[in-house]
Amino acid sequence: MTHRKAVALMILVTLLWSIAGVVTRHLDAARSFEVTFWRSLFNALALAVALTAMRGPALWRGLLQAPWPVWVSGLCWSVMFTAFMVAITLTTVANVLVTMAIGPLITALFARVFLHHRLPARTWAAIAVGGAGIAWMFGREASEGLSVVGTLVALAVPLAAATNWTLLQHIGHGAGDPEGEGAPQDMLPAVLIGAVISALTTLPLSWPFQASAHDLGLLAMLGVVQLAIPCLLVVRLTRELPAPEIALLGLLEVVFGVAWAWLGAGEHPGASALTGGALVLGALVANELLALKRRT
């Protein structure tokens, strides 16, 4: 796969990811954990069908014997699936997406700590500015008497994502192979594990169900189109693109998601989200422009 094609596919992934907020705003009765349960369940069913077609019966025989990186990645996926949808039901789409935008900086920091990647001064500066943006958003919400629970829940998404991307980057270069043969570990089953864990965890908290047939149709679409397809694509792309680049391209979800919620649900981003988002996105863009200038 060429780099240009990999980047194009990653942009498609972010476009698919970005529809969650606006679709959620058009649900009739399903709320909070029930929304998460149905989306994760439909995601798990779609992944089960797709991975069985791709891997055959060997998928199920080897799932329980999968090495530790698959299960750790699955746990990360479950946190991302669950925290994102719960946060969307507790606060605005803009607040959730801006909080998630800190992901590339956390990923870079994790890559430094766990993969021993050197970070230039510009990246350290971007981490500081991005962190200040998130702190500003938290502070403004608290001072205005608004609930910060949704934003705090959303913070679990970039933390889990940074852990996952760093692990996938490590595995994607052939490390962690249980056979010791240097072949990259197949990490696609981890997405299925994450969806199953998310569904099982939120099931007891979803009862009694209130979702209408209309809600189930929208949540099924989210489970398949917004989750299963792009998540399978992004796992494949970890073999083509470095973790920081994946996290950076993932920022397009912020732009797309806020635009969808604004145009499709009339949800205007608040001043704190705009200011915090400007700091985070500005730091990331400046970091990449300086990197591009240096490479040139």
Taking only Cα atoms into account, the Rg of the chain, rounded to an integer number of angstroms, comes to 19
Q: Which residue has the tokens 């732009």?
A: 255
User: At residue 227, does pLDDT exceed 80?
Assistant: yes
Distance, CA of 44 to CA of 225 (rounded, Å): 12
The pLDDT mean for the chain works out to 85
Distance, CA of 215 to CA of 228 (rounded, Å): 18
Q: Do residues 189 and 63 lie in contact, with contact meaning Cβ atoms separated by under 8 Å?
A: yes
Which pLDDT value is given to residue 184? Answer: 60
Which pLDDT value is given to residue 81? Answer: 92
Distance of CA 4 to the CA centre of its chain: 22
User: At residue 33, does pLDDT exceed 70?
Assistant: yes
* 3 state SS of 41: helix
Distance, CA of 138 to CA of 149 (rounded, Å): 10
User: At residue 156, does pLDDT exceed 60?
Assistant: yes
Structural domain tally of the chain? 1
User: At residue 195, does pLDDT exceed 90?
Assistant: yes
Question: Domain residues for 10?
Answer: 3-295
Give per-residue pLDDT as tens, 242-259.
766 776 777 788 888 888
% of the chain beyond a pLDDT of 70: 92
Which pLDDT value is given to residue 146? Answer: 67
Q: Do residues 222 and 20 lie in contact, with contact meaning Cβ atoms separated by under 8 Å?
A: yes
Residues with Cβ within 8 Å of residue 173, at least 6 apart in sequence: 184
User: At residue 178, does pLDDT exceed 50?
Assistant: no
What is the mean predicted confidence (pLDDT) over 217-223? 96
Range with the poorest average pLDDT among 112-116, 155-159, 220-224: 112-116
User: At residue 285, does pLDDT exceed 90?
Assistant: no
Residue 87 has, within 13 A of its CA and on its CB side, a CA count of: 25
Range with the poorest average pLDDT among 59-68, 191-200, 242-251: 242-251
User: At residue 292, does pLDDT exceed 80?
Assistant: no
Which pLDDT value is given to residue 180? Answer: 45
CB count, 10 Å around CB of 94?
Answer: 24
Q: Is 3 exposed, middle or buried (0-12, 13-18, 19+ CB in 10 A)?
A: exposed
